[in-house]
Amino acid sequence: MSTSAKRDLIEEYALVARALGAPHRLLLLEQLAQGERSVEVLASKVGMSVANSSQHLQQLRRAGLVTNRRDGKSVIYRLSDDETLVLMDLLQKHARRNLARVSEILRGLSGGDEAVEPISRAELAQRIAAGSVTLLDMRPADEYRMAHIPGARNAAVNALVRLAGAREQQGEIIAYCRGPYCIEALQAVAVLRNLGISARRMEGGLPEWRAEGREVVASDIE
């Protein structure tokens, strides 16, 4: 390969890296991992103007990370494929291993302790089939309604004390949320374990579960 051709190739790889190099774009990707969304909905979800969201989404599209389509006057975006999930996961794994600040933040979310080892999706599937776990979906209600793991109950961190007091024990509680940048499942586990309840989070989130071809369902019930 000529030096010129290699330089051109590396520049294309760098285009993807640059697209991943803005926090707001990672937030947009996290949202799109839950399902396709209009620019207006995405802007509301991540707390940006429609114009700024559109600019960030165009950067992601140029890097091949998302695609879009028109639906009347709206532009609807979705992830290009499940490989984007892999890239997002690699970013957080690298950061957890090598950035002290990340470890510090995660310990804070876990109540000052090291985060409990998550349960694998394969093991969770077996335990769901056996009826030996209680499953909590910690995402917002609209995302839960779009798709969730069968049998999961939608919950919020600030309601866990009441939920724990009202529930009948059915094995270990497993919490999950959006994916590699999820914090709500970590927080849920910390709250529940502080109440003396056995709890862990699922490795990954709903998008990774679905990408493996595992069953998800939609619901109008929160």
Active-site annotation, residues = 177
Strands 66-71 and 74-79: antiparallel
CB of 84 closer than 8 Å to CB of 98: no
CB of 154 closer than 8 Å to CB of 222: yes
Phi-psi category of residue 66: left, alpha or beta, with phi > 0 → left and psi -120 to 50 → alpha: beta
Q: What residues form DSSP beta bridges with 217? A: 148
CA distance 156 to 14: 38
Closest CA to 125 of 152, 106, 147, 98: 152
Longest pairwise C-alpha distance within the chain: 68
